[in-house]
Amino acid sequence: MKKFKRQLFAVVVLVAGFAAAIGSYLLFKPDDRGSGGLDVRPVAEAMAVRDNSHRLTTPKKSELTVVEFLDFECEGCGAFYPVVEKLREEYGDRVTFVARYFPMPGHRNGELAARTAQAAAHQGKFEEMYSKLFTTQKEWGEAQESKQDVFRDYAKQLGLDMAQFDTALADPRVAERVRTDQRDGLGLGVQGTPTFFMDGEMIQTPGSYAAFKNLIDARLAD
């Protein structure tokens, strides 16, 4: 059974890699107007982590920072969600885990999902919405129509003030916050999701939980 799970995860990682390659093409291919597929440009001085980045763990003494540039609609990110959760549980008292937005243009609701998470963050519920979006991804991902009503229902389930949530969701500053993460990602060479960094250095996406754990253990042992 364990062997089957390892094989299944390996297949998911391969699919995620293929999806990232396709996403990279969509990201940079010119559209009919000759512009890039993503309406942002790399920031001049890109940073893997900023003061306002969403930290999923805040250890008293952080020994390592792991950053994920993610798209809530990305199946590869969805596959890595339980891996990251398990790593957080094991290393949360030593490692700072950071989530940053990088919605891909090929996903109809990716950018909306990112704004939904950011709107929830305005009420102190980023992590709850982050988890909600990933655990329900199969219910709304890959849809061709807007899932704003679905996301509003998630906000209600989390007990958010809906007037504040709707205002934040429509606020241009929330959209700009998402684009800020995208600009940093582009400046750092991110071309698809998920993309991980350890202490500011991009790493090859691990092929399994064990491989990711080994990478972290090696960094912590340095």
Q: What is the mean pLDDT of the chain?
A: 88
User: What's the pLDDT band for 168 if we cut at 50, 70, 90?
Assistant: very high
Name the maximum alpha-carbon separation found in the chain.
51
Strand 201-203 and strand 195-198: the pairing is antiparallel
Q: Does residue 184 or residue 14 have the better pLDDT?
A: 184
Q: Does residue 12 or residue 162 have the better pLDDT?
A: 162
Which residue, 205, 202, 203, 210, is CA-closest to 194?
Answer: 205
Query: Could you tell me if 37 and 31 are in contact, meaning their C-beta atoms sit under 8 angstroms apart?
Result: yes
**CB atoms inside a 10 Å sphere around CB 202:** 15
Helix (H, G, I), strand (E, B) or coil at 98: strand
Strand 64-70 and strand 95-101: the pairing is parallel
pLDDT recorded at residue 18: 43
If you ran DSSP here, which 8-state letter would residue 38 be given? S
Peptide bond into 30 cis (omega under 30): no
**What would the pLDDT profile of 171-212 be if each residue is shown by its tens digit?**
999 999 999 999 999 999 999 999 999 999 999 999 999 999
